[in-house]
Amino acid sequence: MNYRNIDLTDFAAAHAQGLRDRELAARFRVGLETVRRRRAQLGLGSNCPNNNKGRHAEALVTALLTAQGAEVQPQAYHAHHDLLVNGWRVDVKAGRTRVHRKVTSLEFRLPERRNSNLNTASYPKDYQQDTDFFALVAFEGDRLTDAYVLPVSLWQPSITMQPGSEFCPYQPYRDAWAQLSPAAGVAV
């Protein structure tokens, strides 16, 4: 049997069970790229929670900016940034909400190194070269609860914000979508 000829009904059923790409690849004896192509062919998303969270954050930011009249172009899967907004390269990150002693914080990780798709290699991530702004967001369902637009010059491997504090150093960047306006200049 040629295992590249996957029965799409079986594939869709395995995907519906919640199998992730690696598990699908093992079950059908194919590579990860074949799994991704079959998912795309069937219009199926990823079953990876982290990937889905990031994609959802990108969709929410895209919807918000489009409603504000911005020209927004989602970028390809392998691009170094997520969105092109009025010519600005924007990397969207979904944060974790933490509550400690009744103080709510948002935590964002922006690692200096990235793993390859197969986790067989690691390579440096140069945010200053690859993007102009970060859209750091938190959301509940289909509603953005907090959003910060930071210039890439403020990059750190870990960024923590306290939305309820007037003393948070990132407060000036809260909902600062105007930085992405075309009048501010085109970066690319």
Give me the residue label for tokens 């990823």. 46
Query: Are 24 and 116 in a shared domain?
Result: no
Domain that holds residue 22: 8-42
pLDDT mean over 107-130: 81
Give the model's confidence band at 187: pLDDT under 50 very low, under 70 low, under 90 confident, else very high.
Answer: low
Does this model's pTM top 0.95? My answer is no
Between 62-71, 118-127, 133-142, the lowest mean confidence (pLDDT) is in 118-127
For residue 148, pLDDT beyond 90: yes
CATH of the domain at 109: 3.40.1350.10
Query: Are 112 and 130 in a shared domain?
Result: yes
Query: Are 26 and 94 in a shared domain?
Result: no
> Residue ranges of the alpha helices (H) in 29-88?
32-42, 49-67
In a domain, 2, yes or no: no
Say if residues 137 and 60 touch (Cβ distance below 8 Å).
yes
In sequence order, what are the beta bridge partners of 85?
A: 72, 88
Query: Are 59 and 104 in a shared domain?
Result: yes
DSSP state of 182: G
In a domain, 115, yes or no: yes
Residue type, 116: S
For residue 188, pLDDT beyond 80: no
CA distance readout (Å), 40 to 35, 43, 47, 80: 9, 5, 13, 21
Give the model's confidence band at 2: pLDDT under 50 very low, under 70 low, under 90 confident, else very high.
Answer: very low
Query: Are 106 and 90 in a shared domain?
Result: yes
- The number of distinct structural domains making up the chain is 2
Closest CA to 80 of 133, 130, 136: 130
d(C-alpha 91, C-alpha 127), whole Å: 9
Closest CA to 28 of 10, 51, 41, 43: 10
pLDDT of residue 62: 95
pLDDT (tens digit per residue) in 33-85: 888 889 888 888 888 776 778 888 999 999 999 999 999 998 876 678 889 99
Burial class (CB in 10 A: 0-12, 13-18, 19+), 188: exposed
pLDDT of residue 67: 95
In a domain, 1, yes or no: no
Max mean pLDDT among 19-23, 68-72, 94-98 falls in: 68-72
Query: Are 26 and 88 in a shared domain?
Result: no
